[in-house]
Amino acid sequence: MKAISPLELIKVLQEYYIKYDKVPSVDEINNDSNLPSQSPFISKFGSYKNALKAAGLYELKKDNKRKHGDYSDEALLEKLRIFISSKERIPYNNEVRIGMSPSLSVYERRFGSYYNALKMIGYDIGIQKQADTDRKRKSMLEKYKELAASLQRTPTSRDIAKAKKDGFGYSVKAYTDNFGSINELQLLSQVNPTVLRKIDKDKMLKDLVRMSEELGRSPLMVELPKFSNVFKASTYLNYFGSWNNALIEAGLSTNKRQYYSKNGDACLSYYELIIANYLYDKKFNYRKEVRYSDYIDTKRNYRFDFMVESKGENIFIEIFGIVGKDDYYIKTEDKINLCRQSNIHLVEIYPTDFKSHSIDEILSPLHATVKDKVIALV
């Protein structure tokens, strides 16, 4: 599927306005399987707002907001009654989202949800919710089968994301929200699953917990190759839809943000990124996330943030970032004591060091022969 040009995206917005007599919201764009997601609009124009401006619709959207804000609750409910009457049945959620003016978002802001508005005019919302769910799942399965036919193979989560970006089908999140996993979607679609039934979901989740215990935090997807006897990243993505979905199901916190250094290292904090880029720029020979047990006689599953070879000596770096938490403080003290007892050259770094010292001062032990084996900036 070819990428959509800026002119084609503008045409999509303008045709939507002509057809439905309203400016499409981001929510309406994302929930229409026949339209591109918001991603290409942001990619081509910098923001969805800029895309509306390019299509000459932004001012019209503001006018619509002012106009719809003037409706009383009863006037909005009456418009919903008329819309339902024109359909001769209760319209599906997506029909209201696309075909009614004022838009569904107006009803959601005013009444909390479309279903609340239905309830206020006397409809059984339980039946309607189930009908909407069943219809959406059916549509999603059909779109997935169409994608499989066009690719002539089983679509992966990456294929789904690319297709949605190009304006076809639903997002990966929509599929996992409605089917639980991409694997279940594949099985219900009766295509050959990319992840076979023999996969042990419990093992996948237990592996995540085990990795988190060794690392002392939630693992990154790029760290999977560091561990033995674990599933590949693609297996997690295909089964759970995303890495964060897998972490959530394992009861772990999601990785809020990742940074990547000039050398391609995955860094969990901006402080790590600063250190990694400095080591790369200064051409130090270094490694990340080396095990304590490789250099110290311990069974603890600790890892150093960095190990640097400098002047024929291994120097280890730890960035102790969570100051003030008792359990983290205990672990920090344990790490420092282990290094001291094992005569390990450890450079301790804390967030406050970056405010009071230059990076050259913080990492000065790398440039000189230092007798003390445990160094902390003061």
Mean model confidence pLDDT for the chain: 78
Contact, 78 vs 40, CB < 8 A? no
Q: Which parts of 289-345 are beta strand (E)?
A: 306-310, 313-319
The predicted model gives 277-290 an average pLDDT of 91
Q: Which residue has the tokens 């150093």?
A: 304
Helix, coil or strand: residue 211 = helix
The predicted model gives 166-171 an average pLDDT of 79
Contact, 315 vs 364, CB < 8 A? no
Q: Which helix (H) or strand (E) holds 63?
A: helix 58-69
Q: Which parts of 186-326 are beta strand (E)?
A: 259-260, 266-267, 285-288, 306-310, 313-319
d(CA 13, CA 22): 10
- Quick one: DSSP state of residue 175? H
pLDDT in tens, 101-110: 666 677 777 8
Give the model's pLDDT for residue 97. Answer: 56
Question: Quick check: 80 pLDDT over 60?
Answer: yes
pLDDT in tens, 9-51: 888 888 887 776 778 877 777 767 677 877 788 878 888 888 8
Strands 266-267 and 306-310: unpaired
For the chain, report the end-to-end CA distance as a whole number of angstroms: 59
Beta carbons within 10 angstroms of residue 358's beta carbon: 10
Which phi and psi angles does 267 have, rounded to 5°?
A: -120, 135
- C-alpha pair distances (Å), 299 with each of 228, 293, 346: 17, 7, 19
Which pTM does this prediction carry?
0.37
- Quick one: DSSP state of residue 243? H
Write the Ramachandran bin of 347: left for phi over 0, alpha for psi from -120 to 50, otherwise beta.
beta
Q: In this predicted model, which residue has the larger pLDDT, 209 or 222?
A: 209
